[in-house]
Chains A and B, each alone.
Chain A
Amino acid sequence: MIKDDFKIDFKKKKITYSGSGKKIYSTRELYSYLQDVFDEPQNMRYEIPIVAKSKNKFELVNGWKMDKESLKNIKGKLVISD
């Protein structure tokens, strides 16, 4: 389950892979998961971390980051803004 494999640090704006490494997720799956998480009432105060540029291209925004190790568990185009 993606919700078990990715940790979200809302204060530090970091998304970190914490799974076993057995499953690689698509950027679309990550996008869908994060959108679902961020419409929860307790998360509304945080800016959305990811936007879709197209069905296959996504971008981390609003200062959200993923480290390189975590990115290894993502397949597909994911732009990380500076």
Chain B
Amino acid sequence: MAGTITSDLTAGLIDAADVITGWLTLGTWAKAVAATADLLLQGAAALNAQTGAVAAYPPATTGMYLAATASNLDLTISERHLFFWLKSISWPAMEAKVRGGMRVAISSDVTPTLTGTTPWNGPTNSNQWFVGGADTDAVSGWVCYVVDPNSTADLTLGSPAMNSIDRAGVSVAAIKTVGGGAVKTQNIIWDKIAYGTGLTIKDGTAGTPVTLADIYATDMATANCFGVLTQTGEIYYAAGKFLFGATDQTAITYFKDTSQVIVFQNFPVAATFYEIKLQGAASYATTVQFGNYSAGLTSGGVTIRGTSLVARRAITPVIVVGGTGYTAGDTLTVSGGTFITAAKVKVITVSSGVITELRMDTAGSYSVTPTGTLTLTGGTGSSGTCTLTFTGGSIWTLTASAANQTLNLYGCTFSQMMSAALASTTSVRGCTITNSGAVTSNSATIDNCTFQDLATATPISAIYALIIASAAQMALVTNSKFISCNRAIKITAAGSYTFSNLTFSGNAFDIENSIVATNYASLAGANAVTTSLYSGSFVGVSQSFTGTGGTLSSASFALKKTGAPTGNAVVKLYAHSGVYGTSSIPTGAALATSDNINVANLTTSYVTTNIQFSTAAQQYALVNATNYVLTIEYSGGSVGNTLDVGSNVGGYGGNYADLTGTTWTAIAANDATFAVYVNANVIINATNGANPGTFINTSNGSTTIVNSVTVKVTVKDSAGTAISGARVAVYKSSDMSELMNTTTDVNGIAQTTYNYLVDTAITIRVRKSSTGATKYFDNQSTGTITSSGFNSIVTLITDAIATP
């Protein structure tokens, strides 16, 4: 067996459950708890007990058995989680999970006593997590349940201090009597209880790498039973951290496995708890590889996934409004969210019809959980509301960003992955990442991968599929698909990026430019002065400012509309004329012109409206200490249908001017509300069939997509011979704007390039009927420019009717 596998659970042993010494009984057991070697899992013995007799349901009977922890054990540090082996051999006799059939309990009392009412009872100053029940674990055997002691518990009694725990153990609730027959079953069995985080895997070589089988063998050795990696039916079940390598290791660490399935279990653990993490030492690197890669092909990939993000359950109702007219025993349905089964709560006690105690009755099964104060329906009363905590679903994190480590992922499928931090030593080839969070490249090689169905809901709450910090990083991402992601690629640095065969579909935005543009000239005024722009009146407003360098990205003015103006306005940058701050006006031709802003889309209240300069030609390089004039110009509209520009009396060093006809008139005392933003420009060059089409600038940057595809028309006669000199025109069908208008060459070809953003319907006209040559009937057809461009052959029929 390769590798050295250790665990902090060894040092975190609370009790091996080999003897009953030190354990404390609360509640009711039918027989005294005893140790037995017959049922052991770990160490020398396991403890077992028989649940108490149940005369009728309700109520259930509850029993608890709590080991003594180290005195005042602090469970709030170092991501400590509880690992507890539990088993029932009579699940149908147990309560449902929602009412605590099987529980992990901790108390900060050295000698707790029983408090509460069955089944909502337990040790004083305790937290209990409901980990199993008749409805969820009917066929389960030994399970090492893992609990985050700092998470919201299903049941809190008193005020347990998580940094001063003295007892930890098992609590059960049964609804049927066990042991009434000839066989007096000791139906509840438990073994080792410990706290810790997971496993550290070291050693192994390229020739003899550590495998999952090696880890499992060590984990489940009788002396250990860490419970971090178990196996059933050839599927590995994970429940903790897997730390590959160490910064102080004195030999290399090498792990490799293929064609395996790893499932992180659905336990109440912290969102960041489940993790696969790599680290290494300078002279002794760590390598982890899942799957094979040879001759450009991947094989033997590993599936790693979480579970149940679409089946999150409600716990811990807290009354917000007790309502009126309720009766104890009422079952109320929770409103909101997206669910298969809605959560229900039960009214336990009332005071004059007002709810005073509420407990879970049905945990529900939610893919999108409701938030805030929740309306309750049903029962005898009305107006009751509560809050709920939603839990369940397992997610995991991949961390391979440390030094001295290499991660190779070939042909793998990852899902429910909260995030992944990679490095330049990471290769991800032929992998599918689905229903997951953001992958941070950090210069990883990513090829032939699919990012699909970004998990935007809690607990992953992802916004991006892939985060890229430089053009060099982007160049390492090739031949990949981004499907149904909120924002597929987040770009955090200005530059010119190449997208090589990166295809996008169903994303809210293919690209987010999140670069925070530098704002060095701005005035955020109250817009006390309004200038209304419309045809025949003012048609422009300007503001002078002094440049301090930088490449123009975008600019803003305070804009609103009156009435229903139509058409576009633009922002322009001009050279400066006049005395700065007194008589500044634009001069000469515009140095840069922004994209259009459709004035019809403005509101009737002032909004600081940002307009980008999206083409490289318009991203003007401002010169330090040079005065410029920024304008907004609009010559549409009419009286009562105007574009309104906000300005102020003073407030900035430059000055305002307005444009009537072709004459600018400065007003020294006024300044427009404006801003100039620089150095946040992203240019996307799409190649090899890449089809990015949508982007968003979240911090006043500018994004340009350059996706040059070829539009080609070949013209032949009915004999198949190329026709030279035929005129070919191509128009966008939507507005008949012209994309090409030229004649065919000697090969009968007319072609041009087109900046593809979305599939574009086109109209193609081919005509050749000029005097002095063979004439042809005209030809008109339609087509679509796709990310691959457009390529068509048109056959012209000789027109013998037209006179030569």
Contacts and interface: CB of A to CB of B under 8 A. Distances in A.
* Size bracket, chain B contacts: 20 to 34
A18 interface: no
Contact of B801 (A40, A45, A48, A52): A52
Given A35-B778, A36-B770, A44 B765 contact: yes
Given A39-B767, A41-B741, A44-B767, A32 B802 contact: yes
Contacts of A29: 803
B729 interface: yes
B768 interface: yes
Contact of A31 (B727, B729, B767, B802): B802
A28 B799 CA distance: 12
Contacts of B727: 39-41, 44
Contacts of B742: 41
B771 interface: yes
Contacts of B768: 39
Contacts of A40: 727
B36 to A, nearest CB: 92
A71 to B, nearest CB: 20
A38 interface: yes
Interface string A54-72: 1100000000000000000
B775 interface: yes
B221 to A, nearest CB: 81
Contacts, number: 54
Interface centre among A28, A38, A39, A47 (most CB of B within 10 A): A39
Interface string A23-36: 00000110110011
Interface in B756-804: 765, 767-771, 775, 777-778, 780, 799, 801-803
Contact of A44 (B729, B770, B799): B729
Given A44-B727, A44-B729, A38 B769 contact: yes
Nearest to A47: B780
A8 B777 CA distance: 20
A45 to B, nearest CB: 6
A23 B802 CA distance: 19
A55 B738 CA distance: 33
B736 interface: yes
A32 B771 CA distance: 9
A41 B727 CA distance: 7
Interface centre among A36, A44, A55 (most CB of B within 10 A): A44
Contacts of A41: 727, 729, 741-742
B339 to A, nearest CB: 56
A38 B778 contact: yes
A23 B423 CA distance: 84
B741 A35 contact: no
B731 interface: yes
B539 to A, nearest CB: 27
Contacts of B767: 35, 38-39, 44, 48
B769 A35 contact: yes
Contact of B741 (A32, A44, A55): A44
Nearest to B765: A44
A45 B738 contact: yes
- Per DSSP, chain B at the interface is strand
A55 B802 CA distance: 9
Given A35-B769, A35-B778, A38-B769, A45 B802 contact: no
Contacts of B770: 36, 39
B781 to A, nearest CB: 13
A31 B801 CA distance: 9
B387 to A, nearest CB: 64
Contacts of B778: 35, 38-39, 48
Contacts of A48: 767, 778, 780
Contacts of B777: 52
A44 B777 CA distance: 14
B774 to A, nearest CB: 12
A47 B767 CA distance: 11
Interface centre among B727, B729, B801 (most CB of A within 10 A): B801
A36 B799 CA distance: 12
A65 to B, nearest CB: 19
A4 B69 CA distance: 108
Contacts of A31: 801-802
Nearest to B731: A45
B759 to A, nearest CB: 22
A69 B747 CA distance: 46
A44 B765 CA distance: 7
A35 B799 contact: yes
A47 B763 CA distance: 11
A41 B768 CA distance: 11
Given A28-B803, A55-B801, A36 B771 contact: yes
A52 B769 contact: no
A45 B801 CA distance: 23
Nearest to A44: B729
A40 B725 CA distance: 12
A55 B803 CA distance: 10
A1 to B, nearest CB: 12
Contacts of A38: 767, 769, 778
A63 to B, nearest CB: 15
Interface string B714-740: 000000000000010101000010100
B745 to A, nearest CB: 16
A60 to B, nearest CB: 14
B743 to A, nearest CB: 8
Interface string B387-413: 000000000000000000000000000
B797 to A, nearest CB: 11
A35 B802 contact: yes
Contacts of A47: 780
Contacts of A54: 801
Interface in A9-33: 28-29, 31-32
B713 to A, nearest CB: 13
B738 A32 contact: no
A44 B731 CA distance: 10
A35 B738 contact: no
Contacts of B803: 28-29, 32
Nearest to B801: A52
A52 B80 CA distance: 88
Nearest to B725: A39
A38 to B, nearest CB: 6
A48 B741 CA distance: 16
A78 to B, nearest CB: 13
Contacts of A28: 801-803
A39 B769 contact: yes
Contacts of A39: 727, 767-770, 778
A55 B800 CA distance: 8
Contacts of B802: 28, 31-32, 35-36, 52
Given A40-B727, A44-B767, A48-B778, 17 more contacts: A28-B801, A28-B802, A29-B803, A32-B775, A35-B802, A36-B771, A38-B767, A39-B768, A41-B741, A41-B742, A44-B741, A44-B765, A45-B729, A45-B738, A47-B780, A52-B799, A52-B802
21 contacts: A28-B802, A32-B769, A32-B801, A32-B803, A35-B775, A35-B778, A35-B799, A36-B769, A36-B771, A36-B802, A39-B767, A39-B769, A41-B729, A41-B741, A41-B742, A44-B727, A45-B731, A47-B780, A52-B777, A52-B799, A54-B801
When A and B form their complex, which 5 residue pairs have the shortest distance between CB atoms, in order from nearest? Answer: A44-B729, A39-B767, A35-B769, A32-B802, A32-B803
Interface of A: 28-29, 31-32, 35-36, 38-41, 44-45, 47-48, 52, 54-55
Interface of B: 727, 729, 731, 736, 738, 741-742, 765, 767-771, 775, 777-778, 780, 799, 801-803
